[in-house]
Amino acid sequence: MGSALKKWKLPMIMLGPFVALIFLFFFLPVVLIVILAFTNMDSAMRWEFAGLANFQKMLEDPNLFKIMKNTALYVGFTLLINVCFGFVLGILTTYYIQKEPVSLVFRTIWMLPRMSPPVVYVLLWLWFFDPSEYGVLNSLRALFHMEPVAWLHEHPMTAIILANGIIGASFGMIIFSSAIKSIPKDLFYAASVDGASQWSIIKDIIIPAVRWPLMFVTIWQFLSLITSYEYIFLLTNGGPLFESEVLALYSFHKAFQNFEFGYGSAISLVLVIIALIFSFMMWKWFGMQKMMRSSKIE
Amino acid sequence: MEQWVRPEAAVTASLTRRPVSKWKKRLPFFIAYGVLGITTMPIILMYIWLLLSSFAKQMKYGFIPVSFTLENWKFLWTNVEHGGTTLPSIWTATWNSFLFSITLTMLEVLIGVMAGYALSRIEFPGRQMLMKTTLILHAFPSVALLIAVYYILNFLGLFDTLFGVLLVKTALQIPMTAWIVKGFFDNVPWDVEWAGLIDGCSRLKVWLTIVLPMIKPGIAAVSIFSFLSGWSEFLLLYMFIVSDDNITLASYLQKLISDPNLVDYGLLSAVSLFYMLPVILFFIFTQKSLMEVSAGGGKGV
Amino acid sequence: MKIELKNLCKSFNKKTNAIDRMNLTVEDGEFVALLGPSGCGKSTTMLMIAGIYKPDSGEIRFDGQLVNDWEPKDRNIGMVFQSYALYPHMTVLENIAFPLKQQKVPKKERMERAKQAAEMVRLGHVLDRKPDELSGGQQQRVALARAIVKKPKVLLLDEPMSNLDARLKIEMREELSRLHKELGITTILVTHDQEEAMMLADRIAVMKDGKIIQYGTPMDLYHRPSDFFVAQFIGTPPMNVFRGKLIGNHLHFLNQSAELNNEQWNTAQGELDVYVGIRPHEVKLGKGGDIRAKGIVQMIEPVGHAQIIRVNIGDEQLRLFAEPTAAIEYESEITVSFHLSSLHLFDVRTGKSLRKEIMKESQTEEMVG
């Protein structure tokens, strides 16, 4: 008995705070969200069960179709920029520019938006799309004597896709460039001796080597795009009206602006379920066993 | 086998092939530099604008400064008027941001190192289970849970306190941090620990004098990473902090930006630069290790 | 194909030359080994011949044609890398067929030729496997098949056997030797293993610090090393070396002196520090030779067909082969002897051999170069 306690003592002390935090801010919220989704809690914070009312409301919500469409567009196109452009950046800064200092400079610059605080980063975009003649795009138009355009009103989706795309591209870039860098140099030498063309080197050597990172980046970015709304909130706040509102932001608005905590939770629950399905796919594809094997206990 | 002997004919053809001109050979590299240059330029320009604009009275075409001034930096010694009310001092916000980030760093490193070591080195029932959970939580859409987190903070009486947000932020990041730190410990060979034990140290002493120094660079990188992440945090602070006493730089700047009556890019960029200062400093000095960590963050999966 | 390197230079840091004014001629069909310790520039040389590195100055000629600016794919070479560099996601057959695919050989012919090449290296039974399902030796064969499948005029082997265990090494050496005889391709082997070079190559170029120290047949290098470095590098167990002094034509070493023949040896004006070398197998037990010495037995290593005896003579050490039946006791005193004519003498300062015939040779070589 005593020895069992002793065996438990060390891991319990070491893992205590870790487990407590996870319990308090992951497990408990999940349970709460599930319960809240079936209540119509509002700012009075009273528990009133409402059955499936929230989900029925969701089906009847006149804005929801628009929001779903926005979410699909936003996630799809941002993902496209993230993955494709990230891959292009990865190849360019590792394979085509092999002078490490030069590519490090480029990669560093691309990391800047990612490292900048979101508020600052969004300020740059606000300036870029500024409706007055002081904005970047509008001052370019002014050079050709064209009227300023209220970009964020006219093209809110484009704006949020661009802003998120560039942030995500640097994530892809980092993952891909470290994958490409880990390809043995001999392989490239062998290919050039074997007479491979540039295209063939990309197709037969680089892409097979980054296949898994490619899948990983895609799913990972999908997961974070579908649930995060920080940049959209700061840039357009979903507006004008619901033009750039996405599902995650809608849940936030419902809960914290309209104080419909129950309805907000129901929307969150849908998001969590979508995300869990994809996490599960990731788990299956990437083989959890493979990851776990990396640390053996003797 | 005969056809293998001295295949002259097949070869002379290729030997007479002229080498391609230098231009054509270098074309892919020119294109590479071109594409990178054109796409990278806007990013550089935007950050240069941030700098110029903060010292300029007026900008021609929105970009070229007309005259220089320190007017925009006045927020450092006077409180900014905004929408009829006066914002709290920038130094209050800076102090809060600093407090938030540094405490976050300490909490994360402490809890992360303890948990990382336990996950990497100690066998206990439920270890596999806990490891799988940690991995899953990496990708978990924690932002979707904020409504429930709001309820919990309210319940605990931690709403509108920096400490409450601190706990949330630590919790959201700790699965990733613990996993990365576990990776560092995994890379320390058992032999080293055994050697220490054989040389007469206790397990704790081995840990403190041998293992910990070996993962110090990794810990340093994790610390910087979590400090910057705390410094940049906006959403949680915006959601769970309301009083001006607890304002942080992110919210301070956001308040300025969201005021429709005040589009003063001079002031905005000056505040932004001030806010970004630690990011810029850390960026310059530690970019290499940062790259490794952010790449390592994804490596596990 | 005949390969000529003329005054080849290559540097990576602008200060020191990785390859320094190197000259080398490989005749058509010849098997040449570039031998040297790691970092001597042998791999750099090979990558320049392959066209992956471009020389800073100097000429590379294939059959007299200047190929400095040619891309690797236009040089018609096959290459085997130390790491084998197999394409991990392709099967063995696809790996072997890859060079042909790049030449746009039609699929049917491509597969046929790839299979043929696989048969040549006895890989017919694993064509559908991926490289990571193969043993080290098999991977090596795949790399070899891929290198020869396009019927190259030059075969480059970069330390191909350094990742194999001792048994497989011997097997692969025989294999390579057989392939070279069958195909008759001009072959260049980079290695740091002198035994491998001696067994395989028609000629060996011994390299040090980006320069070729001596270029000759294995027997030449063994019996008539022109440089102290070559003498030390080649032969197992290595050559015995003593410090000595040459005064006129009198050689002083091992506490004795001997008179050298003026016709065979370059003699010194005044006093010259020399290394005196003698191969272990030239040393005999007993008093049979011109030079005799007494020593204490320090170590006895039986190697089956003989035993290697290590003897301390004063401060110097000496190894020799003895009959396996000879009864020698540890720490006993024995007498050893050898012939003056089997000595090797090198100037300590320059490392050059003092043998007249060798000096003459290397001088003429330099003039030709």
Chain A CB contacts of C87 under 8 Å are 187, 190-191, 204-205, 208
**Residue-wise pLDDT tens digits, C176-224:** 899 899 888 999 999 999 989 999 999 999 998 888 999 999 999 999 8
Element (H, E) at B47: helix B22-54
pLDDT of residue C367 exceeding 50, the answer is no
Q: What angle do CA C54, C56, C62 make, to 5 degrees?
A: 55
pLDDT of residue A296 exceeding 50, the answer is no
Q: How confident is the model at residue A297 (pLDDT cuts 50, 70, 90)?
A: very low
Rounded to 5 degrees, what are φ and ψ at C311? -120, 140
pLDDT of residue B11 exceeding 50, the answer is no
Range among A107-111, A136-140, C22-26, C86-90 with highest mean pLDDT value = C22-26
**Residue-wise pLDDT tens digits, B118-131:** 888 887 888 888 88
In chain C, which residue's Cα lies nearest the Cα of B4? C183
Which of B15, B16, B27, B29 is the best residue to mutate to test the C interface, defined by the most C CB atoms within 10 Å of its own CB? B15
**Which of the 8 DSSP states describes residue A116?**
S
- Total tally of structural domains belonging to chain C: 2
| The amino acid at B8 | E
Q: How confident is the model at residue C169 (pLDDT cuts 50, 70, 90)?
A: confident
Chain B CB contacts of C112 under 8 Å are none
Which of C74, C75, C115 is the best residue to mutate to test the B interface, defined by the most B CB atoms within 10 Å of its own CB? C74
pTM of the model: 0.78
Relative orientation angle of helices A53-60 and A261-286, to the nearest 10 degrees: 90
pLDDT of residue C316 exceeding 50, the answer is yes
What pLDDT score does C369 carry?
A: 37
- On whether any CB of chain A is under 8 Å from the CB of B158, the answer is no
What pLDDT score does A41 carry?
A: 77
Whether A295 and B170 lie within 8 Å, measured CB to CB: no
pLDDT of residue B250 exceeding 80, the answer is yes
User: Does residue A61 or residue A18 have the better pLDDT?
Assistant: A18
Instruction: Tell me the residue length of chain B.
Output: 301
| Residues C362, C219 share a domain | no
Strand partners, C207: C212
Chain A CB contacts of B294 under 8 Å are 111, 171, 174
Nearest to B232 by CA among C279, A231, A67: A231
C26, C166, C199, C292, C304 from C234: Cα distances, Å: 21, 19, 12, 25, 22
**Contact of B121 with A297, CB cutoff 8 Å:** yes
Strand partners, B86: B81
What pLDDT score does B7 carry?
A: 41
Rounded to 5 degrees, what are φ and ψ at B112? -65, -45
| Residues C322, C253 share a domain | yes
User: Does residue A26 or residue A103 have the better pLDDT?
Assistant: A26
Q: How confident is the model at residue A74 (pLDDT cuts 50, 70, 90)?
A: very high
| Residues C246, C159 share a domain | no
Least confident among A277-291, B250-264, C305-319: A277-291
pLDDT of residue C26 exceeding 90, the answer is yes
What pLDDT score does A36 carry?
A: 86
Whether C99 and A204 lie within 8 Å, measured CB to CB: no
Average pLDDT over residues C170-174: 88
**Across the interface, which of A33, A110, A230 has its CB nearest the CB of B40?**
A110
In chain A, which residue's Cα lies nearest the Cα of B204? A10
Of C228, C260, C295, which one is at a domain's C-terminal end?
Answer: C228
What pLDDT score does C27 carry?
A: 93
Cβ-based neighbours of B243, under 8 Å, separated by 6 or more: B160
Least confident among B103-117, B275-289, C164-178: B275-289
Average pLDDT over residues B56-70: 72
- On whether any CB of chain A is under 8 Å from the CB of B173, the answer is no
Q: How confident is the model at residue C31 (pLDDT cuts 50, 70, 90)?
A: very high
What pLDDT score does B49 carry?
A: 85
Chains that touch C (3 or more CB pairs under 8 A): A, B
Per the structure block, which two tokens stand in for C344? 């090797």
User: Does residue A47 or residue A64 have the better pLDDT?
Assistant: A64
What pLDDT score does C11 carry?
A: 86
pLDDT of residue B171 exceeding 60, the answer is yes
Average pLDDT over residues A106-118: 85
What pLDDT score does C113 carry?
A: 92
What pLDDT score does A155 carry?
A: 87
Q: How confident is the model at residue B111 (pLDDT cuts 50, 70, 90)?
A: very high
CA–CA gap between residue C159 and residue C153 (Å, rounded) = 19
Chain B CB contacts of A284 under 8 Å are none
Average pLDDT over residues C73-102: 88
What pLDDT score does A1 carry?
A: 44
Whether C151 and B4 lie within 8 Å, measured CB to CB: yes
User: Does residue A267 or residue A136 have the better pLDDT?
Assistant: A267
Sign of CA dihedral B290, B295, B296, B298: positive
Whether C71 and B25 lie within 8 Å, measured CB to CB: yes
pLDDT of residue B84 exceeding 70, the answer is no
In the three-class reduction of DSSP (H, G, I as helix; E, B as strand; rest coil), residue B58 is classed as strand
CA distance C326 to chain A (A): 51
Element (H, E) at A66: helix A64-80
Q: What angle do CA C345, C350, C354 make, to 5 degrees?
A: 30
Average pLDDT over residues B86-100: 86
Average pLDDT over residues C28-35: 93
| Residues C96, C220 share a domain | yes
Average pLDDT over residues C315-331: 87
Range among A202-206, B119-123, B135-139 with highest mean pLDDT value = A202-206
- On whether any CB of chain A is under 8 Å from the CB of C72, the answer is yes
| Residues C275, C188 share a domain | no
Least confident among A44-48, A123-127, B38-42, C191-195: A44-48
Chain B CB contacts of A272 under 8 Å are 141, 144-145
Sign of CA dihedral A143, A145, A147, A153: negative
CA distance B84 to chain A (A): 22
Least confident among B64-68, B104-108, B265-269, C66-70: B64-68
Nearest to A213 by CA among A75, A94, A54: A94
Relative orientation angle of helices A156-181 and A118-128, to the nearest 10 degrees: 130
Domain extent, residue C80, equals 3-228
For chain B positions 13-42, those within 8 Å of chain A (CB to CB) are 28-29, 32-33, 35-36, 39-40
Q: How confident is the model at residue C363 (pLDDT cuts 50, 70, 90)?
A: low
Q: What is the CATH number of the domain that holds C346?
A: 2.40.50.140
CA–CA gap between residue B32 and residue B248 (Å, rounded) = 42
Nearest to C127 by CA among C148, C147, C112: C112
Whether C69 and B15 lie within 8 Å, measured CB to CB: no
Whether C74 and B17 lie within 8 Å, measured CB to CB: yes
**Residue-wise pLDDT tens digits, C258-298:** 888 878 888 777 888 999 999 998 998 888 888 888 899 99
CA–CA gap between residue C331 and residue C110 (Å, rounded) = 67
Least confident among B34-38, B189-193, B240-244, C229-233: B189-193
Whether B19 and C76 lie within 8 Å, measured CB to CB: no
What is the residue-averaged pLDDT of chain C?
87
Whether A26 and B299 lie within 8 Å, measured CB to CB: no
CA distance B33 to chain C (A): 22
| Residues C261, C206 share a domain | no
pLDDT of residue C242 exceeding 70, the answer is yes
**Contact of A191 with A205, CB cutoff 8 Å:** yes
**Across the interface, which of C76, C116, C120 has its CB nearest the CB of B15?**
C76
Average pLDDT over residues C77-106: 88
Cβ-based neighbours of C291, under 8 Å, separated by 6 or more: C254, C256, C258, C337, C338, C339, C340
User: Does residue B35 or residue B288 have the better pLDDT?
Assistant: B35
What pLDDT score does B5 carry?
A: 40
| The amino acid at A231 | Y
| Residues C198, C303 share a domain | no
Sequence spans of domains, chain A: 55-288
b/e code A153-162 from CB counts within 10 Å (16+ = b): eebbbebbbb
Relative orientation angle of helices B127-138 and B162-186, to the nearest 10 degrees: 120
Average pLDDT over residues C100-112: 89
What pLDDT score does A108 carry?
A: 82
What is the residue-averaged pLDDT of chain A?
83
Sheet holding C17-26, edge to edge: C17-26, C3-11, C57-62, C65-66
What pLDDT score does B61 carry?
A: 63
Chains that touch A (3 or more CB pairs under 8 A): B, C
Chain C CB contacts of A208 under 8 Å are 87-89
Q: What is the CATH number of the domain that holds C150?
A: 3.40.50.300
Peptide bond into C237 cis (omega under 30): yes
What pLDDT score does C271 carry?
A: 85
What pLDDT score does C203 carry?
A: 94
Of C202, C228, C254, which one is at a domain's C-terminal end?
Answer: C228
What does CATH list as the number for A55-288? 1.10.3720.10
pLDDT of residue A298 exceeding 60, the answer is no
Average pLDDT over residues B222-235: 88
For chain B positions 12-71, those within 8 Å of chain C (CB to CB) are 14-15, 17, 19-20, 22, 25
pLDDT of residue B164 exceeding 80, the answer is yes
